[in-house]
Amino acid sequence: MSEDRRRNAKKGEEEHPMMSTPNMPYVCAVQFRLYTSGRREAELKPVFQHEFQRIKPVQFHIQSTFATDITIQLLNSRIRFNGKNRWDIQVHNTKLIERMASDTDLGFGEAYMEGWWDCDDLEEFSYRWASGPNGSYMPFTDRFRYRLQHLINRQNESLSNIVNICHYDLGNDLFTAFLDKTMNYTCAYWRNADNLDQAQIDKMELTARKLKLKPGMKVLDLGCGFGSMAKYLAENYQVEVVGYTNSTQHVNYARENCAGLSVEIRQQDYRKAEGLYDRVYSIGFLEAVGVKNYRTYFEVAGRCLKDDGIMLTHSIALMHPTQPPMNRWTDTYIFPNGWLPWDTDFITYSRGLFIVEDLHNFGYDYYKTLMAWHQNFEKNWPKLEQKYGQKFYRMWRYYLLCAAGIFRARKYQLLQVVYSKMGLEHGYESER
């Protein structure tokens, strides 16, 4: 131990195991360097004490200040290691901190999947982390990947099917186990609902009212999923719907789900959409389009929409300039090549093609939706356990509960944006 550190230790300052021998002044210095370099908000007042007292110190050399970021984020959010609160992390493998430092959020999520740590209340843990002083901090690797997204198109036609293979084609038995009766895999609308089934019906009804539908209209659904929305519109509004999706599982389910109705499901990339429609919408699809293709997405919608038509986009959105559009764990295990748009993207990439008529944010409703999905997943897990296994179980509950916490902290939003091509003759009346 150096002479300076001996003096600090004599003053009663504790050694901190994020590095081989750092003490509290060293950790604060790391935080200050991150702040002055524009990397993160300063949290100079130490808020962590005794977090690691039951963990064997991890001996490793920090080569950059970035390696401490995720640990400092947890501590600044008052999340303790082996603490007594239900949101604290209970560590089962003393190499966890080293893995967090080397692999950041990817290693942290994988460590949970592998049983290296547990938490009695993952949703509260996620909420506190997201609500903390670094909840909107984008690490260097995420900023680097974001820049790459503007250079490399990870969602082109040849790569766009990856998310279907890795996620949507997992098996309809999984989605049936946690979704509502109508198989809506997007945010529900809870304004007047007290259960998931009703909230999803209310979401579809809200969307239909915003589209101002009339019997006999032709409607285009970009990224139609299980066909839930198409079925609802055909049954309740007597319109003709054409839906596009790449997913084989979606196509098979949607065609059966919509049998006998004026609904056509096409297994094609959205860029192949043809025809002229009175209305165009996409529900929970823009997240899979990718920033390199946002303009193409709006161009396709504009090409297919009549001049007096209405378009609606329903999507998760970010509003903080340093919020990561997708973390590495989610990109690896849940939504490969996914990318969340910023609120400004809805205007920037539609400029010159559309006029924004209405913007509605009900992001808190996604928290309620995810918690309802998790409740269904836990209830029906015994039916899935033999097929999917324990590691998948931990992965899926980590995904649902951590996402719920982020939405409750309002770091993620849910936007419904209504567009017209040239304005509407009598204006647009908003619906809620």
Helix (H, G, I), strand (E, B) or coil at 312: strand
CATH for the stretch 155-366+409-420 = 3.40.50.150
Residue-wise pLDDT for 148-199, tens only, equals: 656 665 555 544 455 445 555 567 899 999 999 999 999 999 999 999 999 9
Residue-wise pLDDT for 44-58, tens only, equals: 333 333 444 444 333
* Pairwise CA distance, residues 244 & 254, whole Å: 10
End-to-end CA distance of the chain: 64
Res 256: pLDDT: 96
What is the mean pLDDT of the segment spanning 230-257?
A: 96
Residue in the block written with tokens 């990318």? 339
CA 86 to chain centroid, in Å, comes to 24
pLDDT, averaged across the chain: 82
Most confident of 67-81, 111-125, 331-345: 111-125
Given a contact cutoff of 8 angstroms between Cβ atoms, the answer to whether 354 and 178 are in contact is: no
Res 51: pLDDT: 41
* Pairwise CA distance, residues 111 & 103, whole Å: 10
Taking each helix axis as running N to C, give the angle between helix 364-408 and helix 122-131, from 0 to 180 degrees, rounded to the nearest 10: 70
| Closest to 98 measured CA to CA, from 127, 73, 67, 124 | 67
* Pairwise CA distance, residues 283 & 278, whole Å: 17
Res 335: pLDDT: 87
Residue-wise pLDDT for 383-397, tens only, equals: 999 999 999 999 999
Res 86: pLDDT: 97
Residues in Cβ contact with 312 at an 8 Å cutoff, skipping those fewer than 6 apart: 207, 210, 211, 279, 280, 281, 282, 416, 417, 418, 419
Is the pLDDT at 318 greater than 70? The verdict is yes
For CATH 3.40.50.150, list the domain ranges present in the chain.
Answer: 155-366+409-420
Q: How many CB atoms lie within 10 A of CB 2?
A: 8
Residue 152 carries which side chain, given as an amino acid letter? Answer: I
